[in-house]
Amino acid sequence: MTQSTGTRPLDGITVVSLEHAIAAPFCTRQLADLGARVIKVERPGVGDFARGYDQRVNGLASHFVWTNRSKESLTLDLKQDIAPSILEQLLEQADVLVQNLAPGAAERLGLGFDKLHARYPRLIVCDISGYGAGGPYAGKKAYDLLIQSEGGFLSVTGNAGEEHMAKAGNSIADIAAGMYAYSGILSALLLREKSGVGSQVQVSMLESLVEWMGYPLYYAYAGASPPPRAGAAHATIYPYGPFPTGDGRTVMLGLQNEREWKVFCEQVLEQPALAEDLRFAANFKRVENRDDLRELITGAFTALDLATVIGRLERAGIANAQVNDMRGVWQHPQLQARQRWRLVKTSAGEVPALLPPATSNAYTTRMDPVPALGEHSAAILAELGLSPERIASLRGAGAI
Protein backbone atom coordinates (compact mmCIF):
# COMPACT_ATOMS: atom_id res chain seq x y z
CA MET A 1 0.00 0.00 0.00
CA THR A 2 1.31 3.46 -0.89
CA GLN A 3 2.34 5.51 2.10
CA SER A 4 0.81 8.96 2.15
CA THR A 5 3.68 10.57 4.03
CA GLY A 6 6.69 8.48 2.98
CA THR A 7 10.01 10.22 2.39
CA ARG A 8 10.48 10.86 -1.30
CA PRO A 9 13.80 9.91 -2.94
CA LEU A 10 14.81 13.52 -3.72
CA ASP A 11 13.44 15.27 -0.64
CA GLY A 12 16.06 17.83 0.40
CA ILE A 13 17.60 18.11 -3.07
CA THR A 14 17.52 21.58 -4.65
CA VAL A 15 17.63 22.05 -8.41
CA VAL A 16 18.17 25.38 -10.14
CA SER A 17 17.11 25.29 -13.77
CA LEU A 18 17.73 27.79 -16.56
CA GLU A 19 15.24 26.10 -18.82
CA HIS A 20 12.79 26.63 -21.62
CA ALA A 21 10.65 24.66 -24.04
CA ILE A 22 10.52 20.92 -23.37
CA ALA A 23 13.71 18.89 -22.85
CA ALA A 24 14.99 20.54 -19.65
CA PRO A 25 11.55 21.29 -18.15
CA PHE A 26 10.49 17.68 -18.76
CA CYS A 27 13.66 16.49 -17.01
CA THR A 28 13.24 18.74 -13.99
CA ARG A 29 9.55 17.90 -13.64
CA GLN A 30 10.57 14.28 -13.13
CA LEU A 31 12.97 15.43 -10.41
CA ALA A 32 10.19 17.47 -8.79
CA ASP A 33 7.90 14.43 -8.92
CA LEU A 34 10.42 12.65 -6.70
CA GLY A 35 10.49 15.48 -4.18
CA ALA A 36 13.25 17.79 -5.42
CA ARG A 37 12.80 21.52 -4.97
CA VAL A 38 13.04 22.92 -8.50
CA ILE A 39 13.64 26.66 -8.86
CA LYS A 40 12.80 27.57 -12.45
CA VAL A 41 14.55 30.77 -13.57
CA GLU A 42 12.49 32.65 -16.17
CA ARG A 43 12.68 35.93 -18.08
CA PRO A 44 10.75 38.76 -16.42
CA GLY A 45 7.49 39.57 -18.17
CA VAL A 46 7.82 36.74 -20.67
CA GLY A 47 8.99 33.60 -18.94
CA ASP A 48 9.67 30.27 -20.56
CA PHE A 49 8.57 30.79 -24.15
CA ALA A 50 6.59 27.55 -23.94
CA ARG A 51 4.11 29.55 -21.83
CA GLY A 52 3.00 31.18 -25.07
CA TYR A 53 2.68 28.16 -27.35
CA ASP A 54 -1.11 27.99 -27.04
CA GLN A 55 -4.00 28.62 -24.63
CA ARG A 56 -5.59 25.18 -24.63
CA VAL A 57 -5.71 24.53 -20.87
CA ASN A 58 -8.09 27.13 -19.46
CA GLY A 59 -5.98 29.79 -21.16
CA LEU A 60 -2.62 28.22 -20.25
CA ALA A 61 -0.26 26.48 -22.67
CA SER A 62 -0.56 22.71 -22.99
CA HIS A 63 3.21 22.10 -23.16
CA PHE A 64 3.82 24.26 -20.09
CA VAL A 65 1.14 22.68 -17.92
CA TRP A 66 2.48 19.24 -18.83
CA THR A 67 6.14 19.87 -17.96
CA ASN A 68 6.16 22.37 -15.09
CA ARG A 69 4.09 21.24 -12.12
CA SER A 70 5.62 21.20 -8.64
CA LYS A 71 8.16 23.94 -9.47
CA GLU A 72 8.86 27.44 -8.16
CA SER A 73 9.10 30.29 -10.68
CA LEU A 74 11.78 32.95 -10.13
CA THR A 75 11.92 35.73 -12.71
CA LEU A 76 15.42 37.07 -13.29
CA ASP A 77 16.96 39.07 -16.12
CA LEU A 78 20.28 37.30 -16.60
CA LYS A 79 21.72 40.34 -18.39
CA GLN A 80 21.29 42.73 -15.45
CA ASP A 81 24.09 43.36 -12.97
CA ILE A 82 22.25 41.80 -10.04
CA ALA A 83 21.84 38.42 -11.78
CA PRO A 84 25.30 36.92 -11.09
CA SER A 85 25.08 37.53 -7.35
CA ILE A 86 21.57 36.04 -7.14
CA LEU A 87 22.64 32.99 -9.15
CA GLU A 88 25.73 32.65 -6.96
CA GLN A 89 23.62 32.56 -3.81
CA LEU A 90 21.22 30.07 -5.35
CA LEU A 91 24.01 27.76 -6.48
CA GLU A 92 25.68 27.86 -3.08
CA GLN A 93 22.60 26.07 -1.76
CA ALA A 94 21.85 23.94 -4.83
CA ASP A 95 22.64 20.32 -5.57
CA VAL A 96 21.95 20.44 -9.30
CA LEU A 97 22.05 23.04 -12.06
CA VAL A 98 20.18 22.21 -15.27
CA GLN A 99 20.39 24.39 -18.37
CA ASN A 100 19.32 24.18 -21.98
CA LEU A 101 20.15 27.72 -23.04
CA ALA A 102 21.30 28.55 -26.56
CA PRO A 103 24.70 27.09 -27.54
CA GLY A 104 27.49 28.91 -25.69
CA ALA A 105 25.14 31.00 -23.53
CA ALA A 106 25.93 29.21 -20.26
CA GLU A 107 29.66 29.72 -20.72
CA ARG A 108 29.15 33.41 -21.50
CA LEU A 109 27.23 33.73 -18.23
CA GLY A 110 30.08 32.09 -16.32
CA LEU A 111 28.09 28.88 -15.88
CA GLY A 112 30.43 26.46 -17.62
CA PHE A 113 31.18 23.32 -15.64
CA ASP A 114 34.87 23.98 -14.98
CA LYS A 115 34.24 27.37 -13.36
CA LEU A 116 31.28 26.11 -11.40
CA HIS A 117 33.08 22.98 -10.22
CA ALA A 118 35.94 25.07 -8.85
CA ARG A 119 33.52 27.16 -6.80
CA TYR A 120 30.89 24.55 -5.94
CA PRO A 121 32.62 21.15 -5.93
CA ARG A 122 29.47 19.23 -4.91
CA LEU A 123 27.28 20.81 -7.58
CA ILE A 124 26.02 18.57 -10.37
CA VAL A 125 25.74 20.41 -13.69
CA CYS A 126 23.52 19.06 -16.44
CA ASP A 127 23.88 20.65 -19.87
CA ILE A 128 21.22 19.78 -22.44
CA SER A 129 21.84 20.81 -26.04
CA GLY A 130 20.76 19.97 -29.54
CA TYR A 131 23.97 18.46 -30.85
CA GLY A 132 26.43 18.38 -27.95
CA ALA A 133 29.65 20.27 -27.29
CA GLY A 134 32.27 20.23 -30.03
CA GLY A 135 31.92 19.02 -33.58
CA PRO A 136 30.65 20.95 -36.59
CA TYR A 137 27.06 21.13 -35.30
CA ALA A 138 27.86 22.43 -31.80
CA GLY A 139 26.52 25.92 -32.47
CA LYS A 140 23.60 24.87 -34.65
CA LYS A 141 20.07 25.66 -33.50
CA ALA A 142 18.05 22.58 -32.68
CA TYR A 143 14.31 22.08 -32.36
CA ASP A 144 12.47 18.81 -31.94
CA LEU A 145 11.36 18.40 -35.57
CA LEU A 146 14.83 19.27 -36.85
CA ILE A 147 16.38 16.59 -34.64
CA GLN A 148 13.78 14.08 -35.83
CA SER A 149 15.05 14.88 -39.32
CA GLU A 150 18.79 14.80 -38.54
CA GLY A 151 18.45 11.65 -36.43
CA GLY A 152 16.84 9.62 -39.21
CA PHE A 153 13.46 9.35 -37.55
CA LEU A 154 11.61 10.94 -40.45
CA SER A 155 13.22 8.51 -42.88
CA VAL A 156 11.36 5.56 -41.35
CA THR A 157 8.14 7.26 -40.26
CA GLY A 158 5.10 7.94 -42.43
CA ASN A 159 4.03 6.39 -45.71
CA ALA A 160 6.03 5.49 -48.81
CA GLY A 161 7.45 8.44 -50.74
CA GLU A 162 9.39 11.50 -49.56
CA GLU A 163 6.25 13.62 -49.63
CA HIS A 164 4.61 11.29 -47.11
CA MET A 165 7.20 11.41 -44.32
CA ALA A 166 5.67 12.15 -40.93
CA LYS A 167 6.97 13.55 -37.65
CA ALA A 168 6.06 12.01 -34.34
CA GLY A 169 2.86 13.47 -32.93
CA ASN A 170 4.67 14.54 -29.77
CA SER A 171 8.09 16.03 -28.97
CA ILE A 172 9.93 12.73 -29.11
CA ALA A 173 13.48 14.16 -29.38
CA ASP A 174 12.87 16.55 -26.48
CA ILE A 175 11.36 13.77 -24.39
CA ALA A 176 14.29 11.45 -25.12
CA ALA A 177 16.81 14.11 -24.11
CA GLY A 178 14.80 15.01 -21.02
CA MET A 179 14.66 11.42 -19.83
CA TYR A 180 18.40 10.84 -20.38
CA ALA A 181 19.11 14.07 -18.50
CA TYR A 182 16.85 12.87 -15.68
CA SER A 183 18.53 9.47 -15.41
CA GLY A 184 21.96 11.09 -15.79
CA ILE A 185 21.27 13.42 -12.87
CA LEU A 186 20.04 10.55 -10.71
CA SER A 187 23.25 8.66 -11.55
CA ALA A 188 25.33 11.73 -10.69
CA LEU A 189 23.60 12.05 -7.32
CA LEU A 190 24.38 8.40 -6.57
CA LEU A 191 27.98 8.95 -7.65
CA ARG A 192 28.28 11.99 -5.38
CA GLU A 193 27.28 9.81 -2.44
CA LYS A 194 30.34 7.69 -3.17
CA SER A 195 32.86 10.33 -4.27
CA GLY A 196 31.69 13.38 -2.35
CA VAL A 197 31.97 15.61 -5.42
CA GLY A 198 29.66 16.70 -8.18
CA SER A 199 30.07 15.95 -11.86
CA GLN A 200 28.92 17.10 -15.27
CA VAL A 201 26.12 15.44 -17.22
CA GLN A 202 25.97 16.31 -20.91
CA VAL A 203 22.97 15.27 -22.99
CA SER A 204 22.29 16.03 -26.64
CA MET A 205 18.94 15.69 -28.34
CA LEU A 206 20.58 14.14 -31.40
CA GLU A 207 22.38 11.41 -29.48
CA SER A 208 19.29 10.71 -27.37
CA LEU A 209 17.08 10.19 -30.40
CA VAL A 210 19.71 8.21 -32.33
CA GLU A 211 19.94 5.84 -29.35
CA TRP A 212 16.23 5.24 -29.76
CA MET A 213 16.83 4.57 -33.46
CA GLY A 214 18.95 1.50 -32.69
CA TYR A 215 16.65 -1.03 -34.34
CA PRO A 216 16.36 0.69 -37.76
CA LEU A 217 20.09 1.50 -37.66
CA TYR A 218 21.08 -2.12 -37.15
CA TYR A 219 18.45 -3.29 -39.62
CA ALA A 220 20.28 -1.12 -42.17
CA TYR A 221 23.74 -2.27 -40.98
CA ALA A 222 26.64 -2.23 -43.44
CA GLY A 223 24.68 -0.53 -46.19
CA ALA A 224 21.64 -2.83 -46.09
CA SER A 225 18.30 -1.33 -47.07
CA PRO A 226 16.56 0.47 -44.20
CA PRO A 227 13.07 -0.36 -42.96
CA PRO A 228 10.56 1.13 -45.41
CA ARG A 229 7.98 3.65 -44.30
CA ALA A 230 4.87 1.69 -43.47
CA GLY A 231 2.46 4.23 -41.97
CA ALA A 232 0.98 2.92 -38.73
CA ALA A 233 1.96 -0.66 -39.59
CA HIS A 234 5.20 -2.36 -38.58
CA ALA A 235 7.75 -2.16 -41.37
CA THR A 236 9.26 -5.62 -40.89
CA ILE A 237 6.63 -7.73 -39.08
CA TYR A 238 3.26 -8.61 -40.64
CA PRO A 239 0.41 -8.55 -39.93
CA TYR A 240 1.17 -5.90 -37.34
CA GLY A 241 -0.78 -2.68 -37.69
CA PRO A 242 -4.21 -1.16 -38.37
CA PHE A 243 -7.06 -2.81 -40.25
CA PRO A 244 -10.53 -1.40 -41.04
CA THR A 245 -13.68 -3.08 -39.77
CA GLY A 246 -17.14 -3.12 -41.29
CA ASP A 247 -18.55 -0.39 -39.03
CA GLY A 248 -16.01 2.20 -40.15
CA ARG A 249 -13.72 1.66 -37.14
CA THR A 250 -10.11 0.50 -37.00
CA VAL A 251 -8.50 -2.33 -35.06
CA MET A 252 -4.79 -2.57 -34.35
CA LEU A 253 -3.37 -6.06 -34.07
CA GLY A 254 0.00 -7.74 -33.99
CA LEU A 255 1.37 -11.24 -34.55
CA GLN A 256 4.77 -12.24 -33.24
CA ASN A 257 5.31 -15.88 -34.22
CA GLU A 258 4.09 -18.79 -36.34
CA ARG A 259 1.90 -20.24 -33.60
CA GLU A 260 -0.05 -17.00 -33.46
CA TRP A 261 -0.30 -16.91 -37.27
CA LYS A 262 -1.93 -20.34 -37.27
CA VAL A 263 -4.37 -19.41 -34.51
CA PHE A 264 -5.15 -16.13 -36.27
CA CYS A 265 -6.10 -17.97 -39.48
CA GLU A 266 -8.18 -20.56 -37.65
CA GLN A 267 -10.01 -18.54 -35.00
CA VAL A 268 -10.03 -14.94 -36.19
CA LEU A 269 -10.21 -15.12 -39.98
CA GLU A 270 -11.92 -18.53 -39.80
CA GLN A 271 -9.84 -19.57 -42.79
CA PRO A 272 -7.62 -22.42 -41.48
CA ALA A 273 -6.33 -23.30 -44.95
CA LEU A 274 -4.65 -19.88 -45.14
CA ALA A 275 -2.12 -21.02 -42.53
CA GLU A 276 -0.73 -23.47 -45.11
CA ASP A 277 -0.48 -20.90 -47.91
CA LEU A 278 3.20 -20.80 -48.93
CA ARG A 279 3.00 -17.05 -49.60
CA PHE A 280 2.52 -16.52 -45.87
CA ALA A 281 4.46 -19.43 -44.38
CA ALA A 282 6.95 -17.24 -42.46
CA ASN A 283 7.10 -13.65 -41.31
CA PHE A 284 9.49 -12.54 -44.05
CA LYS A 285 7.15 -14.07 -46.63
CA ARG A 286 4.18 -12.28 -45.13
CA VAL A 287 6.13 -9.03 -45.31
CA GLU A 288 7.03 -9.68 -48.96
CA ASN A 289 3.37 -10.43 -49.77
CA ARG A 290 1.80 -7.94 -47.38
CA ASP A 291 -0.45 -6.38 -50.00
CA ASP A 292 -2.07 -9.72 -50.82
CA LEU A 293 -2.41 -10.59 -47.14
CA ARG A 294 -3.82 -7.21 -46.25
CA GLU A 295 -6.50 -7.66 -48.89
CA LEU A 296 -7.48 -11.02 -47.40
CA ILE A 297 -7.59 -9.71 -43.82
CA THR A 298 -9.49 -6.58 -44.80
CA GLY A 299 -11.98 -8.67 -46.76
CA ALA A 300 -12.71 -10.75 -43.67
CA PHE A 301 -12.87 -7.82 -41.26
CA THR A 302 -15.12 -5.58 -43.33
CA ALA A 303 -17.91 -8.10 -42.86
CA LEU A 304 -17.62 -7.65 -39.06
CA ASP A 305 -17.92 -4.78 -36.63
CA LEU A 306 -15.10 -3.72 -34.32
CA ALA A 307 -16.52 -5.43 -31.24
CA THR A 308 -16.77 -8.76 -33.06
CA VAL A 309 -13.22 -8.54 -34.41
CA ILE A 310 -11.79 -7.65 -30.98
CA GLY A 311 -13.84 -10.46 -29.42
CA ARG A 312 -12.32 -13.00 -31.80
CA LEU A 313 -8.82 -11.63 -31.25
CA GLU A 314 -9.23 -11.78 -27.48
CA ARG A 315 -10.52 -15.37 -27.55
CA ALA A 316 -7.60 -16.36 -29.78
CA GLY A 317 -5.06 -14.65 -27.54
CA ILE A 318 -3.93 -12.28 -30.30
CA ALA A 319 -2.62 -8.90 -29.16
CA ASN A 320 -4.92 -6.06 -30.20
CA ALA A 321 -5.88 -2.49 -29.43
CA GLN A 322 -8.41 0.13 -30.31
CA VAL A 323 -7.14 3.27 -32.07
CA ASN A 324 -7.98 5.95 -29.52
CA ASP A 325 -8.06 9.67 -30.11
CA MET A 326 -7.28 12.10 -27.26
CA ARG A 327 -10.86 11.94 -25.98
CA GLY A 328 -10.53 8.17 -25.77
CA VAL A 329 -7.30 8.45 -23.79
CA TRP A 330 -8.78 10.96 -21.33
CA GLN A 331 -11.60 8.47 -20.76
CA HIS A 332 -9.50 5.29 -20.99
CA PRO A 333 -11.10 2.66 -18.72
CA GLN A 334 -7.75 1.21 -17.63
CA LEU A 335 -6.44 4.58 -16.46
CA GLN A 336 -9.74 5.24 -14.72
CA ALA A 337 -9.83 1.83 -13.04
CA ARG A 338 -6.27 2.24 -11.78
CA GLN A 339 -7.04 5.78 -10.54
CA ARG A 340 -4.10 7.29 -12.43
CA TRP A 341 -5.47 10.85 -12.62
CA ARG A 342 -4.96 13.54 -9.99
CA LEU A 343 -6.05 17.17 -9.85
CA VAL A 344 -3.23 19.73 -9.99
CA LYS A 345 -3.68 23.42 -9.23
CA THR A 346 -2.79 26.13 -11.75
CA SER A 347 -3.39 29.87 -11.91
CA ALA A 348 -6.37 29.02 -14.13
CA GLY A 349 -7.93 26.45 -11.82
CA GLU A 350 -7.45 22.74 -11.23
CA VAL A 351 -6.61 20.43 -14.14
CA PRO A 352 -6.18 16.65 -14.27
CA ALA A 353 -2.64 15.29 -14.44
CA LEU A 354 -1.42 11.74 -14.92
CA LEU A 355 0.57 10.15 -12.13
CA PRO A 356 4.14 9.30 -13.20
CA PRO A 357 4.33 5.78 -14.68
CA ALA A 358 6.77 4.48 -12.04
CA THR A 359 4.68 3.87 -8.91
CA SER A 360 6.37 3.21 -5.57
CA ASN A 361 4.84 1.64 -2.49
CA ALA A 362 7.16 3.71 -0.29
CA TYR A 363 6.02 7.28 -1.01
CA THR A 364 3.40 9.42 -2.71
CA THR A 365 4.47 11.20 -5.88
CA ARG A 366 4.56 14.96 -5.57
CA MET A 367 1.78 16.60 -7.60
CA ASP A 368 1.98 20.28 -6.66
CA PRO A 369 0.75 23.34 -8.63
CA VAL A 370 1.98 24.65 -11.96
CA PRO A 371 3.57 28.03 -11.10
CA ALA A 372 2.45 31.37 -12.45
CA LEU A 373 5.25 33.47 -13.91
CA GLY A 374 7.37 34.87 -11.08
CA GLU A 375 5.02 33.50 -8.45
CA HIS A 376 7.84 32.64 -6.06
CA SER A 377 10.32 35.43 -6.84
CA ALA A 378 9.74 37.44 -3.67
CA ALA A 379 9.84 34.39 -1.39
CA ILE A 380 13.03 33.00 -2.94
CA LEU A 381 14.82 36.35 -2.84
CA ALA A 382 13.75 36.87 0.76
CA GLU A 383 15.35 33.50 1.58
CA LEU A 384 18.56 34.89 0.11
CA GLY A 385 18.38 37.85 2.49
CA LEU A 386 17.02 40.56 0.24
CA SER A 387 14.71 43.05 1.95
CA PRO A 388 11.18 43.76 0.72
CA GLU A 389 12.37 47.21 -0.36
CA ARG A 390 15.24 45.77 -2.38
CA ILE A 391 12.94 43.21 -3.99
CA ALA A 392 10.49 45.95 -4.91
CA SER A 393 13.34 47.99 -6.39
CA LEU A 394 14.49 45.06 -8.52
CA ARG A 395 10.95 44.49 -9.71
CA GLY A 396 10.62 48.14 -10.64
CA ALA A 397 13.86 47.97 -12.63
CA GLY A 398 12.67 44.91 -14.54
CA ALA A 399 15.43 42.75 -13.05
CA ILE A 400 12.91 40.26 -11.67
What is the C-alpha separation between 306 and 323, in angstroms, rounded?
11
Task: Confirm if 352 and 343 have CB atoms less than 8 A apart.
Answer: yes
- Beta-carbon contacts of 273 under 8 Å, excluding residues fewer than 6 positions away, are 265
Tell me if residue 104 falls in helix, strand or coil.
coil
Rounded CA gap, 370 and 25, in Å?
A: 12
Q: Within a 10 A sphere around the Cβ of 163, how many other Cβ atoms?
A: 7
Q: Which residues pair with 127 in a beta bridge?
A: 99, 202
292 is catalytic: no
Cβ burial of 333 (10 Å; 0-12, 13-18, 19+) is exposed
Of 116, 98, 317, nearest in space to 201 by CA: 98
Catalytic residue among 48, 81, 174, 368: 174
CA 347/CA 255 separation, integer angstroms? 47
- Please give the radius of gyration of the chain, using alpha carbons only, rounded to the nearest integer: 26
Q: Which residues are catalytic?
A: 174
